[in-house]
Each structure stands twice: as C-alpha cells, then as structure tokens.
Amino acid sequence: MQEAGVNLVSLAIFAWSRIQPDHDSWDFDWLDRIMGMLHEGGVRVNLATATASPPPWLSHAHPEMLPVLADGTRLWHGARQHYCPSSPVYRVEAGRLVEAIAERYGHHPALAMWHVGNEFGCHVPACYCDVSAQGFRAWLKERYGSIDDLNRAWGTDFWSQRYSDWEEIIPPRRTPTWPNPSQQLDYMRFSSDALLECYELEHKVLSRLTPDIPVTTNFMSFFKPLDYWKWAKNEDVVSNDSYPDPSDPESSMKAAMAGDLMRSLGGGRPWILMEQTTNRVNWREVNAPKPPGLMRLWSYQALARGADGVMFFQWRQSRAGAEKFHSAMVPHGPVASSPAWHEVVRLGKEFRGLDVVGDTRAHAEVTILFDWESWWALELPSKPSSAVRQIDQIEALYRPLYDANVMVDFAHPAADLSRYRLVLAPSLYLVTDEATANIEAFVAAGGVVLMTFFSGIVDDRDHIHLGGYPKPFQDLLGLRVVDFHPLPSGQDVGVLFADGFLARGSLWSENIEVNDAEVVATFASGDLAGRPAITARQHEGGSAFYMGTCPDGMATARVLQLACSRAGITPAAETPQGVEAVRRGAKGKSILFLLNHRDVAVEVPINEPGTSLIDGSDVHRGLLRLEARGVAVLREGW
Ligand code: GLA
C-alpha cells in the first residue's frame, strides 16, 4: 500500500457475519489487528458500518425481513443486500451492529471516516412485502392526512380505484395493467425515503458517538431509485462509485457528467471517487480491460471535476466468491508483471505532488435542472412516447457542452440559481409552482434558459397542468403546444434554421403556436412542415429558448452556442477533438487540466504559460504534446 501511495482504505464493508457470528457473540480480534497494522503503516481508514449484507443467522431466524419483489417473489440470503428497508428486525439489528463498531473504533487513531452501508438500493431499491405496505401507509398518512386527500391526489375515481380505508392501500404490486401512476410515483418517493431512514438511523448513532468523524455512503452516479438531493443533505462527504465501460466511446463524457453531479450534490464541496476499477469488472456480458493509461486518465478526470480523492474497488483480487474475476490493485498473479499495478503506483506517486489541487474548486456558470421526482414520473408507462428517457435527454444537452469544454453543474429546479448564467431544462416533465417561479425569477434577473420538449406537463401528483401545454411556461417561452407528435424509431424530420442550415430532428415533434417568440428553426418535412420547431423569447432581463424536437448533435450544439453567447459563457480552452479541458480555481490560483481521451498523441494549443504540477516542467505558449490518453495539470501564471 505504501508503494502505491495508498493513504485511505475502506474496510469491513461486507463483514457483518465475521464481526457477529451469532446474535450474542462478537469477534473484533481480526479487525483490531488490521486497524492496528494500517495505523502503524500510516494508512487511514474509512470504516464501514458493515450493514449491507446481513448474516444468514439473522434472516434464518426472521425470514420476514427478506425483501419481496412486486410479483411476490421473495429474495433469499446467499448473495448480499437481502433486507427489506422497512423491516424493524433489520433496523434494530443494524443499529446494534453500528453501535458496537462505533464504540470499539470511534476513537481509534486510524479512523478517518465512516462508510455507512454500501451502495444503498443497488440490488433491492424497493420492497413490496406486507411490512413495507404498512410503512407505505404510515408515509402516506403523513403526506396526505386524510384518505379523501389521498384519493384526490391519486385521481382514484379513474378505473374505480377509490379507497375507503387506509388498510386497503398496498404497494404498486403486479397488477393486470398499469398501476395508478400517482401511486407509483409515491412508492418511488417512499422507497427512497425508507432506505434513507436506514442510513439516517446509522448516521444518528455515529454522530452521537463520534460527532467529529465525517460520514459518507457511496453513491452510484445517476442512480434512478434514490433521490440523492435528499440523501446528500445528510452526508458530510459525497462519494461515488464509477464504472464506465471502457468499450463504450461515450464513457468519458458519461463519467464527466457523473462527476459534475457529485460536485453539485455536495453544493460544490470536494467529493471522493470511492470506487473504480484498476482494470476489468466482472458484471458485464463481456468485461473489456482498461487499455494502458485509461485508469490514470479517468482518475485525473475525477480530480478535474472536483474530486479530492480517488480510490479503488478493490485492494486484493479475491480467490473465491462472486467477484473473483473483478480486477484489483493487487491481482491474482505477481504484481511485477501487472500493468495495472504499475499504473496504480505511478498515479500514487503523482498524486503526492498534487495537494495544491485541494485548495481549488471547479466552478460552472451553466446548470442542468435535474429532479429525481421528475425523472421517475417521466418514465412511468403510458406516455405519448416511452422512448423519451431522462438521461438521454440530459446527455443530448450535456454532450455538446462537454465537447466544447464548458463546465456544467446540476441543480434541483427549486434551488438557488443566482450563481448561473445559463439554465438548461431537458424534458423537465414534472414541475411544482415553486420551481416554475424559480425559473421565471432567474430569467427576470437576466438569466438565459433553454428548455426542451415535454417540460412543465404535470404537477407533483402527476396531474396535468391544465390550460394548454406547457401551462407553467407558456408566458416564459411565448408559445403554446397544441399537441405532441412523437416520432417512431427510425423516423426523423427536417429542421430548417432561419439562416438556411438544415438539420434533422428525431424522437419528438410537436405542434407549436408562437405568441411572442422568435422562430429560430421550423420543421421542414412531415405534417408539421413550416411550423416552429425551435424558438427564443427575449425578456427584459434574459431570454428563454425552447426546442420542440430532439435535433441532431450539430444542431443542438448550434442552439447551445447561441444560448451560451447570449449568456456570455466561454469555454475553459479551445482544444482538438477528444481533448477535455477543465479548470479548477480559487483566490487567484488557476489550474488547467488537459485530458487526452484519444488513443493517439495530440498537440494542444497553450495560451497561458504555466508549470506542470505532475513533473514540475515549464510549459510555454504554443503547442503542448499529450501522449495517447495523456494528461497535463498546469498551474497557470502563479
Ligand atoms: C460496487 C460495490 C462493490 C463491488 C463493485 C464491483 O461498487 O460497492 O462491493 O461489488 O461494485 O464492481
């Protein structure tokens, strides 16, 4: 570990059955020994609460704590995460375990941070058992107060679903056809909250026993089942697990986007890349290895996007168990012949000289409005088009900005937007009055908004905002959508810009009636030929762009360029294709990260002379050569 520059280890994540071999015995000797060894070696510990995989003795004695799927299938022990989040037995026993671990190690000199559970919801995001049903009813009583209000919120007159007693209400289990959408939406909220209660239960024990030790739990990038905005509020440090597919050409963009989300979840605070591979995972159909340099490159990318720590799953590749073919820092074979080991050692050496990066932050002037509740509601079934997916629509706007080296944050639609100049709202289907007022105020104060189709359609009960689509934003955008014309897969439509540039739109089109907006582009083929496709409304303060289709990449980039230039946004640097440029800064210090995602060397124009933080060399104006998957971290002018 010292050779690799390891200074923090996550420990005991799946050790419950080792620590507590039965209900009344505890075995800490082995853990004492490891904690002691790490301490002597100068390595700190991110100690797990070990609650992610209950021991077989517990579920054997209490099978009712095992989770149940929507179709009634019970999931048994023998893998991991086999617990119902609402189970009182699980919660009591998890609490006991955390208490015992915190009492034993809370003042251990190696302890740096607590790691609660592990990847909450990863395998079992929701449980549909009778205990969960009870929990759901209690949650609903809290939310609605009366059964009449619940009936109204769920629109239960439709299909004779009216409830006359709380006891009749169950989770949205397997039904003959679509379960009530408002019920499904509430079940997603409840399930995210039920797991958050498990986290909170542990967090409370830890902050009582060790108020000065920071607490984290590892997130999973854009993980749909958990509303991480709510979760992140309860974490001292946001941490993330990131496993982009090395064989997917878009992985770098996706990993950048996940990093931007983590930074945003923490309100701009530094985050930790908690898990990544040195090389291969074991859980895809085909598990491509990382080519030389890619692990190092993606580690630097995390730093560039605001992480102050980079870790790996896992230290030593296991000999047995379901993950024995998952790569590790120490492989099955000798380290001397492992390219991944040598890359880890190199990275560890380089990172020792990068402390100064920790004094800086990554900042963005553009933000994407992102709301888990809207994502859940958007992707419930029975829509004009089930091909409209939240992450695809976010990526459609993120991609051109990533390619142009424009840094992007994510923000909840009701969050303070005053630090941004440009706000993007990709298919923001569900909006509350609060969010609407927030977006309007942003534009009134001079901000630029770019909204895309199927935004502002429903309220937080998944009821249509009546009065023509998108009712909340008709004034802001200066238009009304008469009806949706979604496009079948493989069918696209011409989109003609005012200057004659002809593009294609896919996935969606719609019949837009403009009241007071400039038409940036019109549909050029199909039933809607000649009608507006992309518009912009000038306000006294800022402006509001709207796209009623999903234009091809070039056209989307064009609209974004227009929006960026109205908002006065400039890129971090101009770089050749495939080279990412990101700047971190603070108090007159500026650090430029240049990341070559291509598998050939490139030359990057440098405008500001600087010093390489990796090898100390001077970097002059002119062209800087970056090797294939090479990286430069430059101190600019200080
Ligand atoms: C997750 C888990 C780890 C391990 C890895 C494998 O990140 O937290 O325990 O299973 O996946 O990629």
For 243-267, the pLDDT digits (tens) are: 999 999 999 999 999 999 999 999 9
Task: Return the pLDDT at 317.
Answer: 97
Residue 243 Cα to ligand 1 midpoint, Å, equals: 9
Task: Return the pLDDT at 92.
Answer: 98
Which residue puts its alpha carbon closest to atom 10 of ligand 1?
A: 323
| Residue 543 clears pLDDT 90, i.e. is over it | yes
Nearby residues of 264 by Cβ (< 8 Å), 6 or more positions away = 367, 409, 410, 411
Burial class (CB in 10 A: 0-12, 13-18, 19+), 432: middle
Distance of alpha carbon 309 from alpha carbon 311, whole angstroms? 7
Please list the residues that pair with 239 across neighbouring strands: 218, 272
Amino acid at position 101, single letter: I
What tokens appear for 445 in the block? 């104060």
Backbone Cα Rg of the chain: 26
CATH 3.40.50.880 intervals, the chain:
366-567
Distance of alpha carbon 429 from alpha carbon 385, whole angstroms? 13
CATH 3.20.20.80 intervals, the chain:
8-123+196-356
| Residue 638 clears pLDDT 90, i.e. is over it | no
Task: Return the pLDDT at 587.
Answer: 87
| Residue 113 clears pLDDT 90, i.e. is over it | yes
Backbone phi, psi, residue 603, to 5°: -115, 130
Residue 313 Cα to ligand 1 midpoint, Å, equals: 7
Q: Is 469 in the pocket of ligand 1 (CB under 6 A)?
A: no
Which residue puts its alpha carbon closest to atom 5 of ligand 1?
A: 313
| Residue 557 clears pLDDT 90, i.e. is over it | yes
Measuring CA to CA, which residue among 243, 525, 549 is closest to residue 396?
549
pLDDT-based confidence at residue 588 (cuts at 50, 70, 90): confident
The DSSP symbol for 439 reads H
Amino acid at position 242, single letter: S
- Residue from 93, 235, 275, 510 carrying the catalytic annotation: 275
Instruction: List, as one string, the DSSP characters of 89-120.
Output: HHHHHHHHHHHHHHHHHTT-TTEEEEE-SSST
Tell whether the torsion through CA atoms of 90, 92, 94 and 96 is positive or negative.
Answer: negative
Nearby residues of 374 by Cβ (< 8 Å), 6 or more positions away = 390, 413, 428, 429, 430, 431
What homologous superfamily does CATH list for 366-567?
Class I glutamine amidotransferase (GATase) domain (3.40.50.880)
Q: Is 281 in the pocket of ligand 1 (CB under 6 A)?
A: yes
Helices (H), 238-385: 251-265, 294-304, 339-352, 372-378
pLDDT per position as a tens digit, 314-368:
999 999 999 999 999 999 999 999 999 999 999 999 999 999 999 999 999 999 9
Contact 255, 242 (CB under 8 A): yes
pLDDT per position as a tens digit, 386-444:
999 999 999 999 999 999 999 999 999 999 999 999 999 999 999 999 999 999 999 99
Percent of the chain whose pLDDT exceeds 70: 100
Residue 80 Cα to ligand 1 midpoint, Å, equals: 11
| Residue 107 clears pLDDT 90, i.e. is over it | yes
Q: Which atom of ligand 1 is nearest to the CA of 218?
A: 8
CA distances 397 to 82, 192, 472, 506, 607, Å, are 38, 27, 22, 14, 28
| Residue 573 clears pLDDT 90, i.e. is over it | yes
Task: Return the pLDDT at 201.
Answer: 98
pLDDT-based confidence at residue 637 (cuts at 50, 70, 90): confident
Distance of alpha carbon 174 from alpha carbon 603, whole angstroms? 57
What tokens appear for 69 in the block? 């799927």
Residue listed under structure tokens 């249509």 = 464
Percent of the chain whose pLDDT exceeds 90: 99
Task: Return the pLDDT at 407.
Answer: 98
The DSSP symbol for 458 reads B
Task: Return the pLDDT at 428.
Answer: 99
Nearby residues of 395 by Cβ (< 8 Å), 6 or more positions away = 250, 253, 254, 257
| Residue 293 clears pLDDT 90, i.e. is over it | yes
Residue listed under structure tokens 């390219």 = 339
Task: Return the pLDDT at 68.
Answer: 98
Task: Return the pLDDT at 347.
Answer: 98
Residue 539 Cα to ligand 1 midpoint, Å, equals: 49
Residue 368: its H or E element: strand 366-369
Q: Is 217 in the pocket of ligand 1 (CB under 6 A)?
A: no
Measuring CA to CA, which residue among 624, 441, 623, 627 is closest to residue 539?
441
Instruction: List, as one string, the DSSP characters of 219-243.
Output: E-SS-TTS-HHHHHTT-SS-EEE--
CATH number of 579-636: 2.60.40.1180
Written out in words, the top-level CATH class of the domain with range 8-123+196-356 is: alpha beta
Residue 422: its H or E element: strand 422-425
Can 119 be counted among the known catalytic residues?
yes
Amino acid at position 432, single letter: T
Nearby residues of 604 by Cβ (< 8 Å), 6 or more positions away = 573, 575, 576, 579, 581, 594, 596, 623, 624, 625, 626, 632
CATH 2.60.40.1180 intervals, the chain:
579-636
